[in-house]
Amino acid sequence: MADFSQLPIRDDLRGLTPYGAPQNTVRVALNVNENTHPIPEDVARDIVESIAGAILTVNRYPDREFTELRESLARYLNEETPDAQLGADHIWAANGSNEVLQQILQAFGGPGRTVLGFPPTYSMHSIISAGTGTQWIAGERDEQYTLTPETVTRWIEQTDPDLVFLCSPNNPTGTPLSLETIEAAYAASRGIVVVDEAYAEFAPSELPTAVSLLEGRERLIVSRTMSKAFAFAGARVGYLAADPAVSDALRLVRLPYHLSALTQAAAVAALRHAPEMLAMVGDIREQRDRLIVELEKLGYAPLPSWSNFVLFGGVDDPNAVFEALLEQDILIRDVGIPNHLRVTAGTAAETTVFLEALARL
């Protein structure tokens, strides 16, 4: 077998490495911020029934406009942000929010264009940029990985990007992002501003999200996913809310029928049960807060988190700790930040197993 660099591959892909969180089968998997609670059995049955219905017409292409799914997602977001008054035309969906982000870059980025992000942040933002030939510009964060309105404004003024990627709360640090910073980024830029809200449901529920900023901002896109809070990672459903013109632009680059009839049926059924699907979010927040308290007691330096994971510093040898936990069948994440590791808040039992193992090291 040849090395891929021997193939006539695009020059700008030479030397890159693919996304690669390990997929070991372990007892306690706390490495990719999944919701580790399985979905309720009666909900699972209803989803299966819907898929069974959809498969009877799978000889035909699915609804290319996934209208029922967009209506369901609009209803879901309107529950959370009633003032947004979103309709199906404000919503777009794809096979995971990663595909949504890719379509955004295909339409608004590409060769000769730039996207500004603020590492350490979600690694796929720069990887999808590379895949679409969009030049990634790495901005810098403030103290403790925060991002002030002044800092984003300065970076946007200095680099004049075609797109700005913000992550709220940020992965892998868990850091909240204020609406003021998002407003400042929008005001300072001429381009598309994407707020990746993959973990929005884990933030304090009384606070508004970037969805509340959409009105009157046609270059603002809020991306969401059913992979995390919704416990639907394996189904691959991500979506965005934005001005309807954004969906019109994405129709130019999406593949026809990109959301299968089975995916659409499964997601619509899951959204019918949104309260049950999200029932464990409160529990996960509790485990996250417990992780922060207990990691501190163990002498580590956990960062504040509004997500379902905790990044903690004070780790002398992250690789050694990672390996020692893996030996006990516990998988967490070394995200490449010196002296830090990231752990997902799992069930109470999983969190206990992790904390006890760490305490023994």
Ligand X SMILES: *Cc1c(COP(=O)(O)O)cnc(C)c1O
Smaller CB separation from ligand X, 172 or 302: 172
Alpha-carbon distance 249 to 202, whole Å?
30
Compute φ and ψ for 344, nearest 5 degrees. -80, 145
Range in contact with ligand X (rule: CB under 6 A) among 42-50, 80-88, 224-232, 349-357: 224-232
Smaller CB separation from ligand X, 96 or 346: 96
N- to C-terminal Cα separation, the chain: 42
Cis amide linkage into residue 169, ω under 30° from 0 = yes
Using alpha carbons, select from 286, 328, 333, 281 the residue that is nearest to residue 312. Answer: 333
173 binding ligand X? (CB under 6 A): no
What is the three-class DSSP state of 315? coil
198 binding ligand X? (CB under 6 A): yes
Range in contact with ligand X (rule: CB under 6 A) among 49-57, 147-155, 225-233, 291-299: 225-233
Relative to beta strand 301-302, strand 330-331 is unpaired
Smaller CB separation from ligand X, 109 or 294: 109
Smaller CB separation from ligand X, 90 or 125: 125
Residue nearest ligand X (C-beta atom): 96
227 binding ligand X? (CB under 6 A): yes
Smaller CB separation from ligand X, 36 or 98: 98
SS3 content of the chain, % helix, strand, coil (to 5): 45, 15, 40
Range in contact with ligand X (rule: CB under 6 A) among 51-59, 201-209, 226-234, 272-280: 226-234
306 binding ligand X? (CB under 6 A): no
233 binding ligand X? (CB under 6 A): yes
Q: Which of residues 112-131 bind ligand X (CB under 6 A)?
A: 122
| The only residue of 174, 191, 238, 302 in contact with ligand X, by rule CB under 6 A | 238
Q: Where are the alpha helices (DSSP H) in 41-110?
A: 41-55, 67-80, 97-108
201 binding ligand X? (CB under 6 A): no
167 binding ligand X? (CB under 6 A): yes
Range in contact with ligand X (rule: CB under 6 A) among 35-43, 80-88, 90-98, 310-318: 90-98
Please state, as a whole number, how many other Cβ atoms lie within 10 Å of the Cβ of residue 202.
24
97 binding ligand X? (CB under 6 A): yes
* Angle between the N-to-C axes of helices 123-131 and 97-108, in degrees from 0 to 180, rounded to the nearest 10: 50
CB of 215 to ligand X, least distance (A): 24
Check: CB of residue 192 under 8 Å from CB of residue 163: yes
* DSSP secondary structure, 14-36, as one string: TT-----------SEE-SS----
300 binding ligand X? (CB under 6 A): no
CB of 207 to ligand X, least distance (A): 18
Check: CB of residue 158 under 8 Å from CB of residue 137: no
| The only residue of 31, 33, 151, 263 in contact with ligand X, by rule CB under 6 A | 33
Chain contacts with ligand X (rule: CB under 6 A): 33, 96-98, 122, 167, 171, 196, 198, 225, 227-228, 233, 238
